[in-house]
Chains A and B, each alone.
Chain A
Amino acid sequence: MAKREQWGTRTGFVLAAVGSAIGLGNIWRFPYMAYDNGGGAFLIPYFFALLTAGIPIIILEFGIGHKYKGSAPLTFFKIFRKWEWLGWWQVFVSFVISIYYVVVISWALNYALLALNLGWGDSPGSFFFADFLQLSDGPMELGGIVWPIFLAALVLWFMVWLVLFSGVKRGIEVANKIFMPLLFFLLLIMLARAVTLEGAAEGISFLFQPDFSAIWDYSVWTAAYGQIFFTLSICFAIMITYSSYLPEDADINNNAMITAFINCGFSMLAGIMVFGVLGYMAFQQGVALDEVVAAGVGLAFVTIPEAINLLPAAKFFGFLFFLCLVFAGMSSMISISEAVCSGLMDKFDWPRKGTASVLCLVGFVLSLIFMTNGGLFVLDIVDHFINNFGIVLAGLVQVVLLSWFFKLDSVRQHTNAQSDFAIGKWWNFCLKVITPIVLGYMAIANLIGDIRVNYEGYDSSALLVFGWIVVVAVLLLGFAMQSLKSNWTTDQT
């Protein structure tokens, strides 16, 4: 078997892991989650969740990926051959995410170009839905392809292909050594602009003003754990894959901490930037701040363009903001795609170049559905279901199996033996007790919620086709892949 690829430097690995973790959600989800769950007080459950779930799981994934030197399916196979399906489940979850995540990035790429002449006009809301997305009436009315989105997605899939084709050291590492410093540089420029705007202080105060009564609300703790869970790129094969490319004597524990802290630090800065701009917007429009606060797609493609229209040097800052989204998204997209590519290469002994080419071609074709007039609806449904029943459930199974049916201490001994510092038995407790309870609660709450009430009021047929069938399919595909033969043995190194 060919020698496994390796990262060129420790910095390269950390930048790639940070790049994987930092994504669109750091910019458009964290600030709103904090604002909506106690403001500054949210940071208490948020950091508690980071220490008791986020960091322990990253260390676990870094540890097993490094120890067993495989993509997620191969790693789980080596741990116990009948667990291979879990790795494939995570790989297919990643694949589903990749085919719609790239389309969101393509919106951002289009908007970066639109920003050059404020092409969204005076009514960014109607522009986004009616003119840009050309939205149909529902998910079962796909309509036709929206060509600007198609072209941007084509460019982005080409970039993903180029990076994966070039390999770990010359592709992924180089890409992240470019994207990550640029992303931070752009963020700092926008941060400097945002905090000096009139009204920004009020906006930032609005975000961080603590409401400590929120700490007694269990839903705030659920929100904090959910935010940590989704922000760190854990439990869908990525961190296992990335750490499998580390050299033998690589640090594990400290790299995991650095990744987690930088990811959350980026969220903090992004929150200050976003709420600074929202504060300015509220001041300019003479409205209350809570009238302008938004999250997600609405924040990025409606509210922020409205704010950009009011800024001095609007075109410049508009371009920078959407370029930030592109960089943040692409570094994550690369990691998601690599998790899939690596799994296939390991299983079938396929060469990287061919695997990357086929994967990106198939991915591009399947992405087409999200580039249609009904694409946003389909994306919304797929995203909701794959996150809440793909990542959360696969993560729960992973943590329970590895904590209760595997020698967890063997991973801790492995990571402690070569890390800058050792972790204690608190790590075992977090993985055996805290994380399964939290993930189990999230999984059950999600299930009950979505069975009782149709998500966002979508038609049951749409939820069945794009939601429930997708989550069941990725699980069944996991078992199907396990049944396919490979050259793997449990003695394989």
Chain B
Amino acid sequence: MTSGAIFMMIFGLAITWGGATVCIYKAFKARNL
């Protein structure tokens, strides 16, 4: 894979799953899920 493709793939996964993880963490911290 090219470095550009690797970077954009990781960027996309980080935004989506990173964002979901942060939000779920906030949910756990604030109250029970």
- List B residues 1-33 near A (Cβ within 8 Å): 1-2, 4-9, 11-13, 15-17, 19-20, 23-24, 26-27, 29-33
Residues of B within 8 A of A420 (CB): 23, 26-27, 29-31
Considering the complex, give the chain A residue whose CB is closest to the CB of B15: A47
Contacting pair A43 B8 (CB below 8 A) = yes
Query: Which residue of A9, A40, A43, A421 is within 8 Å of B33 (Cβ)?
Result: A9
Report if A210-B5 is in contact (Cβ < 8 Å); known contacts: A261-B17, A261-B20: yes
Contacting pair A10 B27 (CB below 8 A) = yes
CB distance from B16 to the nearest CB of A (A): 4
Contacting pair A268 B12 (CB below 8 A) = yes
Contacting pair B20 A204 (CB below 8 A) = no
Residues of B within 8 A of A11 (CB): 33
A14 to B20, CA, bound (A): 12
Query: Which residue of B5, B17, B27, B32 is within 8 Å of A265 (Cβ)?
Result: B17
Contacting pair A201 B16 (CB below 8 A) = no
CB distance from A108 to the nearest CB of B (A): 24
Residues of A within 8 A of B1 (CB): 201-202, 204-205, 208
The interface stretch among A84-92, A250-258, A403-411, A465-473 is A250-258
Residues of B within 8 A of A264 (CB): 15-16
Contacting pair B5 A251 (CB below 8 A) = no
Contacting pair A40 B16 (CB below 8 A) = no
Contacting pair A10 B4 (CB below 8 A) = no
Residues of B within 8 A of A205 (CB): 1-2, 5-6
Query: Which residue of A9, A207, A261, A421 is within 8 Å of B16 (Cβ)?
Result: A261
Q: Determine chain B's interface SS by DSSP, over half rule.
A: helix
A484 to B21, CA, bound (A): 46
Is A172 engaged at the interface, CB distance under 8 Å to the other chain?
Answer: no
Is A41 engaged at the interface, CB distance under 8 Å to the other chain?
Answer: yes
CB distance from B14 to the nearest CB of A (A): 10
Considering the complex, give the chain B residue whose CB is closest to the CB of A46: B12
Residues of B within 8 A of A222 (CB): none
A264 to B18, CA, bound (A): 11
Is A262 engaged at the interface, CB distance under 8 Å to the other chain?
Answer: yes
Contacting pair A40 B27 (CB below 8 A) = no
Is A39 engaged at the interface, CB distance under 8 Å to the other chain?
Answer: yes
Residues of A within 8 A of B29 (CB): 420
Contacting pair B11 A262 (CB below 8 A) = no
Residues of B within 8 A of A41 (CB): 8
Contacting pair B5 A43 (CB below 8 A) = no
Number of interface residues of A (CB under 8 A): 32
Contacting pair A40 B23 (CB below 8 A) = no
Considering the complex, give the chain B residue whose CB is closest to the CB of A201: B1
Instruction: Name, among B7, B12, B17, B20, the residue most crowded by chain A CB atoms within 10 Å (CB to CB).
Output: B12
Per-residue interface assignment for chain A, residues 392 to 426, with 1 indicating a CB less than 8 Å from any chain B CB and 0 otherwise:
00000000000000000000000000001100000
Contacting pair B4 A268 (CB below 8 A) = no
CB distance from B23 to the nearest CB of A (A): 5
Residues of B within 8 A of A14 (CB): 33
Considering the complex, give the chain B residue whose CB is closest to the CB of A269: B13
Contacting pair A258 B4 (CB below 8 A) = no
Residues of B within 8 A of A204 (CB): 1, 5, 9
A43 to B5, CA, bound (A): 11
Residues of B within 8 A of A421 (CB): 26
- List A residues 237-274 near B (Cβ within 8 Å): 251, 254-255, 257-258, 261-262, 264-265, 267-268, 272
Is A428 engaged at the interface, CB distance under 8 Å to the other chain?
Answer: no
Considering the complex, give the chain B residue whose CB is closest to the CB of A250: B31
Is A357 engaged at the interface, CB distance under 8 Å to the other chain?
Answer: no
Binding site for B on A (CB under 8 A): 9-11, 14, 39-41, 43, 47, 201-202, 204-210, 251, 254-255, 257-258, 261-262, 264-265, 267-268, 272, 420-421
Could you give 25 example pairs across A and B, Cβ below 8 Å? A11-B33, A39-B5, A40-B4, A40-B7, A40-B9, A43-B11, A201-B1, A202-B1, A204-B1, A204-B5, A205-B2, A205-B5, A206-B5, A208-B6, A209-B5, A210-B7, A251-B31, A255-B27, A258-B20, A261-B19, A267-B16, A272-B9, A420-B27, A420-B29, A421-B26
- Starting from the known contacts A43-B12, A206-B5, 15 additional A-B residue pairs (CB-CB under 8 Å) come to A10-B31, A10-B33, A39-B8, A41-B8, A47-B15, A209-B8, A254-B26, A254-B27, A257-B23, A261-B16, A267-B16, A268-B13, A420-B23, A420-B27, A421-B26
Binding site for A on B (CB under 8 A): 1-2, 4-9, 11-13, 15-17, 19-20, 23-24, 26-27, 29-33
Q: 8 shortest A-B CB distances, which residue pairs?
A: A40-B8, A265-B16, A261-B20, A208-B5, A261-B19, A205-B1, A205-B5, A420-B30
